[in-house]
Amino acid sequence: MDRTIILVDDEELFRARLAKAFSQRGFTVFTAGDFEEAMLVIGKQRPNLGVIDLKMPGKSGLELIAAARKINPDMQLVVLTGYGSIATATEAVRLGALYYLPKPADVDDILGAFARNPELALEVDQDEFSAPSLARAEWEHINRVLTDCEGNISQAAKKLDLHRRTLQRKLQKYPPSK
């Protein structure tokens, strides 16, 4: 199977993290932030898998499912949303989505959803990907919050419930390797 996937989500940081995780698992990854961008990529690249956020500015993920399936009827789609309801889940599946996942979902959740279709025959070796250490997870979280605060140390320290100097000391350390 050709391991190509498009990730469509208006949250750039979330999209970038997912793209990195799928790339590390051997996928060719395409990304888009909205309906129009996604349609250009789907028309040109024809990925066989897609992860679509339901709620985006402009046209919704439901509209994207219908349009993407017209271009590539064999494309397998998983819908992600932070605003789940039974009605939208039913509609997403009716339009051709394979599965529906609530946010936050990680790459393993998404691959598990795709694995529901035995025709895809996704072979993912979970043993080769180890979880990050607690120190690494903390370092990544601190940097995500700092990025969200646009580099403002005081604002990030307040969000993290840390003293500003403590946060500065943590930031001066090198990131843990694992």
Tens of pLDDT, residues 97-111: 888 887 777 888 898
What's the domain range around 59? 4-127
Asked whether residue 178 is assigned to any structural domain, the reply reads no
Asked whether residue 79 is assigned to any structural domain, the reply reads yes
CA atoms of 155 and 20, how far apart (whole Å): 27
Pair (94, 155) in one structural domain = no
CA atoms of 33 and 36, how far apart (whole Å): 9
pLDDT at 52: 94
Closest Cα to residue 7, out of 23, 30, 28, 40? 30
Pair (80, 148) in one structural domain = no
pLDDT at 1 over 70: no
Pair (95, 166) in one structural domain = no
pLDDT at 149: 85
Asked whether residue 162 is assigned to any structural domain, the reply reads yes
Pair (11, 69) in one structural domain = yes
Tens of pLDDT, residues 136-175: 677 777 877 887 888 899 998 999 998 999 888 887 776 6
pLDDT at 128 over 50: no
Tens of pLDDT, residues 80-94: 877 666 677 778 888
pLDDT at 119 over 60: yes
Q: How many CB atoms lie within 10 A of CB 42?
A: 23
Instruction: Output the domain CATH number for residue 86.
Output: 3.40.50.2300
pLDDT at 146: 82
Q: What is the pTM of this model?
A: 0.67
CA atoms of 129 and 116, how far apart (whole Å): 21
pLDDT at 32: 95
Between 11 and 124, residue with greater pLDDT: 11
Closest Cα to residue 68, out of 92, 99, 46? 46
Tens of pLDDT, residues 40-69: 999 999 999 999 998 888 998 899 999 999
Alpha carbon 167 to chain centroid, angstroms: 28
Instruction: Output the domain CATH number for residue 139.
Output: 1.10.10.60
pLDDT at 89: 74
- For the chain, the domain total comes to 2
